[in-house]
């Protein structure tokens, strides 16, 4: 198992860096080219959500992202240290309800990022806890003997 | 790539050209432009997404916010987009049913002309 871990401050500019790193490692791990856009978007959504939550609740705390190659899967876990207000508001599996919410009187769109992740990742687990939220997602990767695909 | 924004008005339609990445970092600039255009009386907007490399839910939120603003003035906000990777996020969120999405600026202008 090969693992890369990053921590970054809750600044919007760092989300792009996290996306780039995740996409590069996904490619190296053997995730199919056709899935790389999904990885990039889903990781960006998870990191954006974490950044917004930290900026509201704990701007000084870092966000952690773990990327690993585990038994033929590329797995990404984004962990924040903020309350999970947005996760209560929306059924993330139903985009049409989201649209109704967005076009209604509520100006904010809590949960939209989670809905996008759910629509993109092959396997998603959102774990709200007392000390923050953990979003784990994974995609199939080409298994190789040393944990890294040939490049 | 950073975000590049430009706009021009043709007849009663304001065409917003967007190039680059629309994410949590850059979306506020697009939001400011859309608000500014509406505040200056431009209520029929066409956002050309053909040169957008990346769009996330923050960007979607800005577009929906723009749509709500123009609708308050009986206006419209429509999109030009043929890129599958961008269209996918609209489909996932159900927003293909909310925005008029055209294959080209010309096609959108023709449709807008018919609706006038």
Residue by residue, pLDDT tens for chain A (151 residues) are: 678 999 999 999 999 999 999 999 999 999 999 999 999 999 999 999 999 999 999 999 999 999 999 888 999 999 999 987 666 544 444 444 555 444 443 334 557 888 899 888 879 999 988 889 999 999 999 865 555 554 4
- Please check whether residue B80 lies inside any domain of the structure: yes
Burial class (CB in 10 A: 0-12, 13-18, 19+), B30: buried
Total domains, chain B: 1
φ, ψ (nearest 5 deg) of residue A82: -115, 160
CB nearest A120 (choices: B58, B60, B92): B92
Establish if B31 touches chain A: CB-CB under 8 angstroms.
no
Structural domain for B75, as ranges: 4-109
B87: tokens are: 């269209």
**Minimum distance, in Å, between the CA of residue A127 and any CA atom of chain B:** 20
φ, ψ (nearest 5 deg) of residue B62: -65, -40
Establish if B95 touches chain A: CB-CB under 8 angstroms.
yes
Residue that has been written with the tokens 């590329």 in this structure: A74
CB nearest B24 (choices: A15, A37, A109): A15
Burial class (CB in 10 A: 0-12, 13-18, 19+), B103: exposed
User: Across the interface, do A96 and B97 touch by the CB < 8 Å criterion?
Assistant: yes
Does the model's ipTM exceed the 0.95 cut?
Answer: no
CATH number at residue B85: 3.30.750.24
How big is the CA angle at B78 (ends B83 and A49), to the nearest 5 degrees? 65
Q: For residue A52, which residues of chain B lie inside 8 Å, CB to CB?
A: 24
User: Across the interface, do B54 and A116 touch by the CB < 8 Å criterion?
Assistant: no
Select from A46, A52, A40 the least CA-distant residue to A11.
A52
* Tens-digit pLDDT profile for residues B18-56: 999 999 999 999 999 999 999 999 999 999 999 999 999
Rounded to whole angstroms, how far apart are CA atoms A113 and A117?
A: 6
Burial class (CB in 10 A: 0-12, 13-18, 19+), A110: middle
- Please check whether residue B62 lies inside any domain of the structure: yes
- Please check whether residue B115 lies inside any domain of the structure: no
User: Across the interface, do B56 and A113 touch by the CB < 8 Å criterion?
Assistant: yes
- Please check whether residue B114 lies inside any domain of the structure: no
| Structural domains in chain A, sorted by start | 2-140 (3.30.565.10)
């Amino acid at each position: 198992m090969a693992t890369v871990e990053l921590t970054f401050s809750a600044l919007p500019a760092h989300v792009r860096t996290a996306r780039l790193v995740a996409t590069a490692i996904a490619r190296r791990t053997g995730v199919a080219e056709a899935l790389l856009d999904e990885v990039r978007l889903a990781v960006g959504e998870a990191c954006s959500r974490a950044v917004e939550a930290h900026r509201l609740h704990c701007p000084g705390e870092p966000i952690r992202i773990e990327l690993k190659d585990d038994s033929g899967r590329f797995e990404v876990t984004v962990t924040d240290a903020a309350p999970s207000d947005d996760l209560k508001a929306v059924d993330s599996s139903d985009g049409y309800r989201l649209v109704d919410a967005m076009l209604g009187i509520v100006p904010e769109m809590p949960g939209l990022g989670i809905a996008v992740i759910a629509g993109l990742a092959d396997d998603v687990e959102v774990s709200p806890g007392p000390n923050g939220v953990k979003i784990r997602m994974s995609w199939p990767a080409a298994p190789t003997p040393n944990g890294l695909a040939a490049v | 790539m950073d975000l590049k924004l430009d706009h021009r008005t043709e007849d009663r339609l304001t065409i917003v050209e967007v190039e680059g990445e629309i994410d949590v970092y850059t979306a506020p600039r697009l939001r400011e432009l859309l608000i500014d255009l509406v505040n200056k009386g431009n209520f029929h907007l066409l956002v050309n997404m053909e040169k957008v490399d990346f769009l996330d839910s923050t960007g979607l939120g800005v577009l929906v916010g723009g749509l709500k603003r123009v609708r308050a003035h009986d206006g419209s906000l429509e999109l030009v987009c043929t890129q599958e990777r961008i269209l996918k996020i609209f489909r996932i969120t159900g927003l293909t049913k909310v925005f008029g999405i055209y294959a080209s600026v010309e096609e959108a202008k023709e449709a807008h002309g018919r609706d006038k």
